[in-house]
Amino acid sequence: MILREPHVYRPQPGVFDEVFAPGGVPREYAEALVAELTKLGPAELAGAGRRRDAIFVQQGITFDATGEDGPVKDRPFPLDLVPRILPSHEWDHIKRGLAQRIRALNHFVDDVYHAREIVHEGIVPWQLIVSRPNFARQMHGIRPPGGVYCHVAGCDLVRDADGSWRVLEDNVRTPSGISYVLENRTAMTRLVPQLFNRYRVRRVDHYPQLLLAALRAVAPAAEGEATVVVWTPGSMNSAYFEHSFLARQMGVELVEASDLVVRDDVLYMRTTSGLKRVHAVYRRLDDDFIDPLEFRPDSLLGVPGLMRAYRSGSVALANAVGTGVADDKAIYHYVPEMIRFYLGEEPILQNVKTFLLGDPEQCRYALERMDQLVFKPTGESGGKGVFIGPSTPADELEGLRDVILRQPEKWIAQEVVKLSTVPTAGLDGTLAPRHVDLRPFAVFGEKIKIVPGGLTRVAMNEGSMIVNSSRGGGSKDTWVLDDGAGTDGDQASPDEVVNVPQSLPGLRYASWTGQAQQQQQTRAGE
Amino acid sequence: MHFSIRYLTEYRYDHEVTDNLNALRVRPATTSNQRLDDFQLRVDPEARIGRHQDYFGTDVLEFGISRPHDHLTIDVRARVVTGEAVDPPDAPWESLGHPAYELAGGEFLLPAPDEPDHAMLEELVGVARANSPLKTLHWVTELIPDRFRYQPGVTYVGSTVSDLLDGGAGVCQDFAHLALILLRRQGIAARYVSGYLWDAQEDGGDDSVEVETHAWIEALMPGAGGRGEPVWVGADPTNRRLAGETHVKIGHGRFYQDVPPIRGVYQGTAGAELKASVQMTRLDPQASARA
């Protein structure tokens, strides 16, 4: 073991550190933060950390992780008390790039289920699209209210060694994490208020209002009369905290499948005073489970007939059904082309260089460089099944090679990005560089609005680039600095009403039973 | 041939159920050699019927009965005129590589998502290949009934090809699923077809027979000599022949789950007793049809 001088922060060579420039001098926008942290000292920072854990456990801000000895339940969500700062020009760049990307993805989803122009133009192969596990044939020909598909998007961004931003992954199904953004900010102002002293940090707490406004904007109801609900798969779901948090913050009902019923082609919610029509559903479960008549027949979480109601246009679902075709990891490769094709613009944010292993030439190239690339299964999210070549033992890579060669079209390879670092407090309060990514949250109703910052995830172990909270990652409060140039439409209008009291959920019914007939013939003479 | 078809389904429930929602794919399609003259659907208890076309172009009829009920009758009547299919074109194997073929085949060329890892399947795939795609299609309709017994009751609606291979027996749904894999593995686009089959014996002379819904397949054959448009050719691996005017098509998909005749759910845990029958009656005199 190498002993180091205490309290000396050493940025890693060849990695972009967001607080200290090469040579160890704080970047201009971070000077005040460094000064406050120095004044605070490691002991006080560590003490604030212990208070944070106690509060999070008490408030139920916890999550379930996979530890070395199996699943770990109800750990306090690990918030690192050193914030991440994004100067306003940096944020403007990200925001424009994301809005552009989400518009293109939204076009793509519409195109896939209707005209298929991008296929006819020879840009994306049809067989690739239809073989994506999240391509939803049930969505064919359905145009959702307002023409919006990707109501909530959470793309993952990383910063390369030269400080440039890149999109690592798109997520336009049910991205989670926004509740931590809001809770983190609240916790920071309580635990380390002095860090905010010399900064004007843009607010994030209006996210629920932005979401509610977007849901109302797409709801097929007269102005001011839309009933909106949040649909959770239930309290066993790992993101249940967030589902209930958002419902409470928006002042709308949190429902499960048993609270919902379709009559003819209209969706209703059961209440103590009878059925109440629902116009917009923020649903936090995958397509496969939403309607057993059209998706998995064995799904007990779903609402039979929901697709019929959706098809008739009487209800908006957010996100739309079938958006998973757009955030597939093989489709990701084509996003820059989509931006050019649908918008006639050059991409503002670049992709990470990606190889489609379904293509024999790209596959051969990637398999010759397994120890230099990252390998990902295309249908998964949340870091599941990812192999980082440089840190994977050679024999494991050999096994992976066999797996890939069996179904190469189910894999992609990407160049390794050396994620940027931000000083992060250890248990004793001393600071060390840790790798981070960023998941900003965009909401698309009438227009695309993006909450300043987003969820910064941080790999808590030295050198690690795995930031997923389910695999030991932590988070940071993300500060977008206000340079006084205005908030350009990211704030909710003040007249959005929130915190309407919730009524009691209605009766719960017994389970559903399915009926189907096997196809068989009775042959003549039998 | 000119048929009237009556597809009657009756459910009786142990006790009352509510919110009984069903999606029907029972309406005969209109194709180049099939015309639908009349179609009626009656549901008891009464319900408002919704109708749309799904991704594969099949007509879907949907209804829901919310109030408590202890029985459900779905009464489908149709009158259909079918014609003999045109002679399928024969073309060499190389024609499958033509871009027009790949375009027309689309997703029906892709491997089935649940293709089993089974030694017998590999053996069958090896045996199934003949001198041309069309000869392979003919051969597959013989090979499957040669190797597997037709036996209702040994498989069920959710059975897989693996179950058929293990058990050595199944029904038309299972035979069709196996045929799809054998053809796709040769690079031939193939899709599952749901419909009704006129199943009277050749000289039986009956004008009306009791049948059930039937399943067969369609395979994409390259145009004659490898030129011209590829065409979908119906083939029935249960009955050892290409599909013809005895086959009334409802719709197609990648597999059974894309075109189930009836799919439904209801609230409650009541058990259900099902009686389903398909009655087909020939409206044109047999003599003139034979002439």
Closest CA to B108 of B56, B31, B171, B170: B56
3-class DSSP state for residue B175? helix
Average pLDDT value for residue range A224-232? 95
Domains of chain B: 2-82+260-285 (2.60.40.2250), 93-258 (3.10.620.30)
Q: What is the reported pLDDT for A4?
A: 43
Supply the DSSP symbol for A341: I
As a whole-number percent, the residues of chain A with pLDDT over 70 amount to 88
Q: What's the CA gap between A448 and A440, in Å, rounded? A: 12
Q: Say which amino acid occupies A371.
A: D
- For residue A67, name the pLDDT band (cuts at 50, 70, 90): low
Pairing outcome for strands B190-197 and B247-253: antiparallel
pLDDT beyond 80 at A165: yes
User: Where is A440: in which H helix or E strand?
Assistant: none
- B213 forms beta bridges with B196
- Residue A517 has its nearest CB partner, among B62, B152, B262, at B262
pLDDT digits (tens, 9 = 90+) for B233-265: 999 999 999 999 999 999 999 999 999 999 999
- For residue A344, name the pLDDT band (cuts at 50, 70, 90): very high
Closest CA to A420 of A82, A17, A22, A9: A17
Q: What is the reported pLDDT for A523?
A: 45
The pTM (predicted TM-score) of the whole model is 0.90
- Residue A293 has its nearest CB partner, among B23, B55, B56, at B23
pLDDT digits (tens, 9 = 90+) for A109-155: 999 999 999 999 999 999 999 999 999 999 999 999 889 999 999 99
Tokens 């039986």 sit on residue: B204
Q: What's the CA gap between B99 and B120, in Å, rounded? A: 32
> How crowded is the C-beta side of B154, counted as CA atoms within 13 Å?
18
- Closest Cα in chain A, distance from residue B40 (Å): 19
**Does residue B115 sit at the A interface (CB-CB below 8 Å)?**
no
pLDDT beyond 70 at A367: yes
Q: Which residue stretches of chain B have pLDDT < 50?
A: 287-291
3-class DSSP state for residue A453? coil
- Domain A354-416 architecture: 2-Layer Sandwich (3.30)
pLDDT digits (tens, 9 = 90+) for A235-273: 988 889 999 999 999 999 999 999 999 998 999 999 999
Q: What is the reported pLDDT for A378?
A: 85
Pairing outcome for strands A421-425 and A411-415: unpaired
Contact between residue A387 and residue A402 where contact means Cβ atoms under 8 Å apart = no
Q: What is the reported pLDDT for A495?
A: 41
For testing the chain A interface, which of B21, B103, B277 should be mutated: the one with the most A CBs within 10 Å?
Answer: B21
**Does residue B70 sit at the A interface (CB-CB below 8 Å)?**
no
Question: Residue A259: which residues within 8 A CB-CB, separation 6 or more?
Answer: A253, A269, A270, A505, A506, A508
Contact between residue A53 and residue A194 where contact means Cβ atoms under 8 Å apart = no
* Mean pLDDT for chain A overall: 88
Q: Say which amino acid occupies B157.
A: V
- For residue A57, name the pLDDT band (cuts at 50, 70, 90): confident
Helix and strand numbers, DSSP H then E, in chain B: 6, 15
For A1, counting Cβ atoms within 10 Å of its Cβ (0-12 exposed, 13-18 middle, 19+ buried), the class is exposed
- For residue A499, name the pLDDT band (cuts at 50, 70, 90): very low
Q: What's the CA gap between A376 and A468, in Å, rounded? A: 14
Q: What is the reported pLDDT for B37?
A: 97
Q: What's the CA gap between B72 and B20, in Å, rounded? A: 9
- Closest Cα in chain A, distance from residue B59 (Å): 13
Confidence check on the interface: ipTM exceeds 0.95, yes or no: no
For testing the chain A interface, which of B18, B22, B198, B263 should be mutated: the one with the most A CBs within 10 Å?
Answer: B263
- For residue A69, name the pLDDT band (cuts at 50, 70, 90): low
Question: Residue B211: which residues within 8 A CB-CB, separation 6 or more?
Answer: A521, A522, B196, B197, B198, B199, B278, B279, B280
What does each C-alpha distance from B221 to A149, B85, B102, B128, B194 come to in angstroms?
38, 14, 11, 16, 20
For chain A, the domains span 354-416
